Structure 1
Amino acid sequence: MAVKIFLTGVTGYIAGDAFSVLQSKHPEYEYAVLVRSKEKGELVEKAYPGTRIVIGDLDNSDVLKQEASKADIVLHAADASDHEGAAKAIAAGMVEGHSEDHPGFWLHTGGTGILTWEDAETGRLGELSDKEYNDWDGVEELTSLPDSAFHRNVDKIVLEAGTKHSKVLKTALVCPPTIYGRGRGPVAVRSRQAYELTKLILNEKYIPVIGAGKARWNHVHVSDLSQLFLLLVEAAAAHKLDAELWGQRGYYLCENGEHVWTELAEKIARDAEELGFVKKLEKKDLARQAALDVAGFEAVSWGLNSRGKAERARKLLGWSPTAKSIEQEAPNIVKDEHARLTGGS
């Protein structure tokens, strides 16, 4: 019997890329995907014939519950870290549709914005922090962050479901940092943080510095993130039930290094200069409200610290990131963003 997978967000960046990898590696699986319109569904069907299209959105709790109950594996990435209703519906559907003999697996997409909570609460911007989380020795700290932390409300729903119903529901909370690289999905191919930074540099012609300019953040290439999702799907399909993989301890950071935001902005600016897109640029302070006006939380995040070590996936799944670093990929980010802004290809 074919493994049944239900995905949300395949017309977006994260799940779109992960879906392309899953389809390539496991065409034998049965895929159902949630899309908001018939038109988007047609784009997915054209790229991946045989995919079952489910029309609906994250507010359609009955649809989410029904599809989750039928799926062996759910990969939830559409606004997954912030939509409480969708998380509750998926949890309810998976518990209702599965048993101890036939458990369901829920791969949930969070985000390391949750690790910025201390900077956010103290109002610090751009200050150096030595605090570094760890998803192996320090997993209990990650699963018990303050309720005020960004994304924490949804994290709690996933963690509670995976703990309270651990015999019938196996959860893995995947928490990516800054994601970069061109996506391979059928619709969206662009990430946000580094690309909004590049957009500002190209449009406003300066290098933004938030606060003291020393904040650091982890990063991961989208193709490496998709490999982690693939490994988790394969573990679920094989019914690997190691308690370290799922539930109370199934919290996965997925980084491959870190960057200082100001240094990355300088690198992007120099690449843009070398490519002839801008003339010599200088640094300029960017205040919190101005950052919000420019690009919302993405811009403010350039002044916050989000640092952690991804050991769990490496130890348990053999995850080994191989893609270019964000600094190596920076020229391509600049080229892609310039082409998008100017209407080029």
Structure 2
Amino acid sequence: MEILLTGATGYIGNAVLERLLATGHEVRAVVRSEERAAAVRAVGVTPVVGDLLDTGWLRGQLDTVQGAIHTAAGSDENDPALNDSVIDAVLGSFAGTDKPFVHTGGVWTYGEGSDIRDDDPQQPPAITSWRPAGEERLLAADVRASVVRPGIVYGHGAGIPAMLAGGPRDDSGALVLIGSGEQHWPTVHVDDLADLYLHVLGNAPGGSAYVGASGTNPTVRELGEAVVGPDGSVVRGSAEEASGRFGPAFAEALLLDQRSSAPAARSLGWQPSAPALVDLLRDGYPADR
């Protein structure tokens, strides 16, 4: 199947790209520059240089493929407009067809929960408050569209856990946790997450969201203790310290207490198998795992 992929050079998108190629799909990757075009061309991917905010251009690209996956994010004030543009283009191109489309959301939109289910109401923090309206519009349309809502993505020494591992120390050398450290994070290895995207692409009927979480939900304290090892120590942070370190909106999301076993994703045959985040942090959070 020929797939149009956005965000192919990003953390999640690159893992998805590798899985698509490994399973025999042809990929057209939307990139923003000739430099990034060269990078994806080097791994056997056809680059398409363009702007995702150009809805008409993107619709034309979608018309030429058999499916699409959207993982791109600017992580800035343009994200709401970018997502609206992608959704508009997909609705225009894929409506009334059986072409699958997989959109990327995030687990934070559910707000706090000790057993988050895929179809639970969304209660997003400020940083993702713009997501639900577009996702609801997409899932209600005459399109075979699905939304993957990743948890805290880890693996290969990158992602949010790297921020925890490289966090500040107090005067005694203790690692300062993000908030009290009692909050749980629903975690997923980036390679397992990429595998979920392919399960959704191939097996999901459309109209549903899928939490991307392994079912392992460590506390931030457990993660911090894994970072410092048996000879180190951790200390509680505060909401104020986290806000100063990450900004108020990002800190609010990092302080959410969330747990999920992702039942809908597992119903598609998804079986995460990567090492747990606690174990990788205990081993120094290596780039090759």
Q: Please name the residue that 1:270 is paired with.
A: 229
Q: Choose which of 150, 169, 192 in structure 1 pairs with 2:159.
A: 192
Q: Secondary structure at the match of 2:63?
A: helix
Task: Identify the match of residue 216 of structure 1 among 181, 184, 187.
Answer: 184
2:281 aligned with 1:330, yes or no? yes
Q: How many angstroms does 1:266 deviate by?
A: 1.1
Whole-angstrom distance in 1 between the partners of 2:223 and 2:55: 41
Superposition map of 1:1-345 within 5 A:
3-26=1-24, 29-46=25-42, 48-49=43-44, 51-79=45-73, 83-100=79-96, 102-116=97-111, 131-135=114-118, 139=119, 141-142=120-121, 145-146=122-123, 150-163=127-140, 165-166=141-142, 169-182=143-156, 191-200=158-167, 205-235=173-203, 245-247=205-207, 250-256=208-214, 257-270=216-229, 280-296=231-247, 301-315=253-267, 317-336=268-287
Q: C-alpha separation between the residues in 2 aligned to 1:203 and 1:72?
A: 53
Deviation by residue 1:264-319 (Cα, 9 ceiling, x = unmatched): 11111117xxxxxxxx543334333432343446655443212223001212x111
TM-score, structure 2 as length reference: 0.86
Higher helix share: 1
1:82-124 deviations in Å (ceiling 9; x for gaps)? 8222222222222322353x333220111112233x5xxxxxx
CA distance in 2, matches of 1:218, 1:147: 15
Q: Which runs of 4+ in 1 moved over 6 A?
A: none
DSSP 3-state at the match of 2:47:
strand
CA contact (8 A) 1:193 1:299 kept: no
Task: State the identity as a percent.
Answer: 23
- With over 3 angstroms needed to count, the CA separation of the structure-2 counterparts of 1:304 and 1:208, relative to structure 1, is farther
Report the 3-state secondary structure (helix = DSSP H, G, I; strand = E; otherwise coil) of the residue aligned with 2:229. Answer: helix
> Residue 10 and residue 332 in structure 1: after superposition, are their counterparts in 2 closer, same or farther (change >3 A)?
farther
Structure with higher Rg: it is 1
CA distance in 1, matches of 2:102, 2:250: 24
Range with bigger deviation, 214-223 or 73-82: 73-82
Is this contact kept in 1: 2:53–2:85, CA < 8 A? no
Deviations 1:123-153 (A, max 9, x none): xxxxxxx632112xxx1x23xx247664242
CA distance in 2, matches of 1:43, 1:288: 40
In the alignment, is the contact (CA less than 8 A) between 2:150 and 2:212 conserved in 1? yes
Q: Could you tell me which amino acid in structure 1 is paired with residue 105 of structure 2?
A: G
Q: Secondary structure at the match of 2:36?
A: helix
What residue ranges of structure 2 are gaps of 5+ in the alignment? none
SS at match of 2:274: coil
CA contact (8 A) 1:228 1:313 kept: yes
Report how many aligned residue pairs link the two structures. Answer: 283
> Quick one: structure 1 residues 149 and 294, their matched pair in 2 at CA, closer, same or farther if it must change by over 3 Å?
closer
Native 8 Å contact 1:208 1:286 kept in 2: yes
Q: What is the DSSP-based 3-state SS (H/G/I as helix, E as strand, rest coil) of the residue aligned with 2:167?
A: helix
Normalised to the residue count of structure 1, the TM-score between the two structures is 0.73
Q: 1:214 Cα shift?
A: 1.1
Gaps of 5+ in 1: 119-129, 183-189, 272-279, 338-345
CA-based RMSD of the aligned residues comes to 2.8
